[in-house]
Amino acid sequence: MFRVDDDAPHRLFGRHEQEFKGLDEVRVDFVPPFDEDELVAEEEKKLRVRFELRNTDPAIANALRRIMIAEVETVAVDQIGMMQNTSIIPDEVLVHRVAMVPLAVDPRHVRKGEALFFELTITCKGKPQNVYSRDLLFQPDESQTAAFPDQKEYWSKFNPRPVHSDILLAKLLPGQQIHLRAVCTVGKGQDHAKWSPVATATYRIMPKVDVNTARANGELAQAIKQACPRDVFDIEDSGALVATDPRRCTMCRECVRLDEFKGCVELYRVSDHFIFSVESVGSLPPLEIVRRAILVLKAKAVAWKRHLHSLQATS
């Protein structure tokens, strides 16, 4: 538990004083991925999930976050064969841009040792032309036919393609052309950011807003309510200030900044309550990312457990 004062957040208990809660007590609640007042496109909503994780340690929450960013596997462009590039954009930069394009391919569908090939073949005729991610076309490759002769039929079920069709990759003038072949493999975000399945995977620690009703009433209460940009407070009929919706608090500390507000409000962070927000880049559904992250975490725990057992056995 932290008390967020105007000068700094202060830890209220010693680091280890907090009792470790068993995993059995962990509670997960799913909440709407966006605040009511946010205007978000329908499509974008599909990419985001928000849930609350309670009764657990920061270590668990952080492990989940870290795994989502760095250890959930995805498919991304790993190598590119540049056959022709007469555009203004240099090979290396184009390659980098292509590699950053998220691909709608589930890494679980990729068989061991298999690589996916995408081709981009474009020649500009007539007017200046843009090259978009949709021009990257899945192209089963001959080099794979020995190991995976059925590649074409197999992947036709899944329709491998870039998630977003309108990512600008290059611009061409008449006569310029680009021809490249991208080799996509399964990888993890820890090796390169392009394999990270999330745009953001983060949590914030549950805010708690305590109001000293003895002080915060009347005009002062009005002033504090006005000061809060997030409408956390309301005024009761008695004229006292009340924190109606602490979840909305962004810890901007406006309610404690001014001298006249001193002693009215206290802000806390409840260290066993985490509000997660996961936004997928689109290659995997956000919930799936969470699920796989938990599986990775579980596998790690199991591996540790096994390791500890073996240590016990030897000693």
Binding-site ranges for another protein (CB under 8 A): 2, 4, 7-11, 58-59, 61-63, 65-66, 69-70, 82, 85, 88, 90-93, 96, 100, 189-190, 192-194, 196, 200-205, 229-230, 250-254, 257, 269, 271, 277
Q: Smallest distance, Å, CB 160 to another protein?
A: 23
CB of 48 to another protein, least distance (A): 11
Task: Please report how close the Cβ of residue 121 comes to another protein at its closest, in angstroms.
Answer: 16
Cα separation values, 200 from 16, 48, 56, 164, 276, Å? 29, 9, 21, 17, 10
58 vs 285 by CB, closer to another protein: 58
Pick between residue 8 and residue 313 the one whose CB is nearest to another protein: 8
**Shorter beta-carbon distance to another protein: residue 21 or 204:** 204
**Least CB distance from residue 196 to another protein, whole Å?**
7
For the bound state, the minimum distance from the C-beta of residue 98 to another protein, rounded and expressed in Å, comes to 12
Shortest reach from residue 186's CB to another protein, in Å: 17
CB-wise, 8 or 41, nearer to another protein? 8
Nearer to another protein, 85 or 283 (CB): 85
Q: Closer to another protein at the Cβ: 63 or 138?
A: 63
